[in-house]
Amino acid sequence: MTARQPGEGAPPIARTIARGARRTGVLVAGLALLAAGVALLVLPGPGVLVILAALALLATEFPWARRLLARVREHAVRAGALVRRR
Per-residue model confidence as pLDDT tens digits over 5-53: 655 666 788 888 888 889 999 999 999 999 999 999 999 999 999 999 9
Asked whether residue 53 is domain-assigned, the answer is yes
CA distances from 28 to 7, 34, 69, 83 (A): 21, 10, 18, 36
Of residues 10, 11, 4, 7, the one with CA closest to residue 21: 7
Sequence-distant (≥ 6) Cβ neighbours of residue 22 within 8 angstroms: 61
Average pLDDT over residues 54-63: 94
Q: Does 6 reside within a domain?
A: no
Residue 80 lies in a domain: yes
The residue type of 51 is I
- Into how many domains does the chain fold? 1
In-domain check, residue 1: no
Residue 50 maps to a domain:
yes
Q: 35: domain range?
A: 12-85
